[in-house]
Amino acid sequence: MQETIDKIAKFLDEKKAEEIEVFDLSNKDYIAKIVIIANAQSNKHTLALLDYIKKDAKKEFGLKVYATDESDDWVVIDMGDILIHIMTPQYRAKYSLEEFLSELKSGD
């Protein structure tokens, strides 16, 4: 699993995503075992990253994209045990998802 996570993070980095964070929630009661958050540079970049992942998920990571929820500012990609959030920096700051996930991980 760690190899797959590393591949996804590297893939996002190569496609110019920024501030990539990985949260291991495998020991928590959450909808996914791993959550990856990344910043897109713009609204169009958010959707472009989604397209890259949907197109290459099986070949690059050996995973299927089960569902997506998308807007120009925030995209969620459900890959089973892995959930990827790609958002503009403004949305990331507004919703503080990593703060929530950090608290969940630490048990607070």
108 has a pLDDT exceeding 70: no
CA distance 4 to 9: 9
The CATH classification of domain 2-100, taken from the options 3.40.50.10300, 2.40.30.10, 3.30.460.10, 3.30.260.10: 3.30.460.10
Mean pLDDT computed over every residue of the chain? 91
Q: What is the pLDDT of residue 14?
A: 94
- Higher-pLDDT residue of 44 and 29 is 44
- Nearest-CA neighbor of 76 among 102, 97, 60? 97
Q: Are 50 and 105 in contact (CB under 8 A)?
A: no
pLDDT tens-digit series, residues 49-95:
999 999 888 888 889 999 999 988 999 999 999 999 999 999 999 99
CA distance 64 to 73: 23
Give the domain ranges of the chain.
2-100
Give the three-state DSSP class for 107: coil
Q: What is the pLDDT of residue 59?
A: 84
